[in-house]
Amino acid sequence: MTAYLFRMPAGIAGAVSRPQDLTIEPVLINTADPFIQYGLAGKFSGNFFVPLEEDDTADKIVGIFVRPFPTTSTPDKVRQIGTSNNFAGDALKRGYMSVNIGATAAGVTKGAPVYIRIADATDASPLGSVLATAIADTTVVLPNAYFTGAGDAAGNTEISYKI
């Protein structure tokens, strides 16, 4: 059993953190263009909810990919069902969600704006990732979203989206 000496983890990326205050919409995930992790911002492309592409703008964002529980990762599911079979997923339209900012979240302040990566993706921070700091020509402000306070050393923290 793990003993937490200082603080429990502040969540799991993509997990809804306050289930009493939310709106989640069922969406169709395109297995030919899947999300690589939960908690990423997404957009609509036809009938599908898909990851952002390089240089998308904030007005394209329609939700954040929700981590269902229990589940395997999206890439695992795509390997299981194949790339020609699409599947249902969930998009957070309004509510509170745990996200991972890719670096320590201990310095995040309550009410700080939420930034979404739209360019210069990395393995650790793909397009659609939530960031706590602005990067010129790389991030956009997620409208009607803010951080609810400091997170943990692993980068986990909570955001409020359209509340």
Cα–Cα distance, 18 to 43 (Å, whole number)? 23
pLDDT at 75: 66
Could you tell me the two tokens for 32?
A: 């030919």
With 80 as the cut, is the pLDDT of residue 70 above it?
no
Q: What percent of the chain has pLDDT over 90?
A: 63
Could you tell me the two tokens for 122?
A: 């990395």
Q: What are phi and psi of 64, to 5 degrees?
A: -125, 135
pTM of the model: 0.89
With 80 as the cut, is the pLDDT of residue 151 above it?
yes
Confidence of residue 114 (pLDDT cuts 50, 70, 90): very high
Instruction: Identify the structural domains of the chain with CATH numbers, from first to last.
Output: 23-161 (2.40.300)
Cβ atoms of 113 and 133 within 8 Å: the answer is: no
5 vs 54, more confident: 54
